[in-house]
Amino acid sequence: MTEQVEPAPRRVRAFLHGRLAFDTTNALYVWEWPYYPQYYIPLADVAAGVLDALGPETARVHDEGAVAGHVRFGFAALDAWFEEDERIFVHPRNPYTRVDALRSTRHVRIELDGVRLAESSSPVLVFETGLPTRYYFNRTEVDFRHLVPSATVTECPYKGTTSGYWSIRIGADLHEDLVWAYDFPTPGLMPIRGMLCFYNEKVDTFVDGEEIARPSTHFFTK
């Protein structure tokens, strides 16, 4: 195995069908690709019957190299994961990624096809290592006449689970799932609670009067 491997200092737990699947303070971070790691769990800390319940496709036991004696679980195969006592979503958080939600007095405006959708001088800006800045607006600063509620729900390892999604209707055109909100974000991202964010890869964003180039959708994250 050539992936980067490091000890994880956090207590890691997960549950399956309401029962504890494992509880360990000796997990490994393994970077299978550059952006975030996976947890590899010591086989000795896995509860009896869990491997049989999941099968080798979603719970792979390794017997060679730096990860010998560890199990790599498919994240979605377990019902809930926790770092210490805080639930995590989608995949483990990268210990080398920083995510900050900062209040700002910069003037930010969102448009699409020349229609103003939101404007604020008190946004919250979310800075995540290696990703585009996200701009969050108070609901009173968003023109809901162009927003159409959507049933979409997404999860973020750093922000939690979305509580609302909207598409944008401009004339006869419906642009699907370009707006979202976290009413109950993770503790570190509480400044964005209840605010709305626009997918700035697909809308026009103006900051202090200057139009910001749309980021590449390669960096998609909500």
The pLDDT tens digits for 144-172 are: 999 999 999 999 999 999 999 999 999 99
- Bridge partners, 100 (sequence order): 127
Is residue 45 scored above 90 in pLDDT?
Answer: yes
Query: What residue type is 171 in one-letter code?
Result: G
Residue 220 pLDDT greater than 70, yes or no: no
Q: What is the pLDDT averaged over residues 110-131?
A: 96
Which amino acid appears at position 126 of this protein?
V
Condensed to tens digits (0 to 9), the pLDDT of residues 48-100 reads: 999 999 998 899 999 999 999 999 999 999 999 999 999 999 999 999 999 99
DSSP code at position 90: S
- pLDDT category, 222, cuts 50, 70, 90? low
- 3-state class of 34 per DSSP? coil
The distance of Cα 136 from the centroid of its chain, to the nearest Å, equals: 15
pLDDT at residue 218 in the model? 54
Half-sphere exposure of residue 216, counting CA atoms within 13 Å on the CB side? 3
Q: Which amino acid appears at position 185 of this protein?
A: P
Verdict on whether the full-model pTM lies above 0.75? yes
The band of 33, judged by pLDDT with boundaries at 50, 70 and 90, is: confident
Instruction: Say whether pLDDT at 137 is over 90.
Output: yes
Q: Which of 116, 134, 127, 213 is nearest to 181 (CA)?
A: 134
Strands (DSSP E) along 34-75, which ranges?
36-42, 59-62, 70-73
Structure-token match 């370009």, residue found: 178
* Rg of the chain (C-alpha set): 20
Q: Is 30:5 a contact under the CB 8 Å cutoff? A: yes
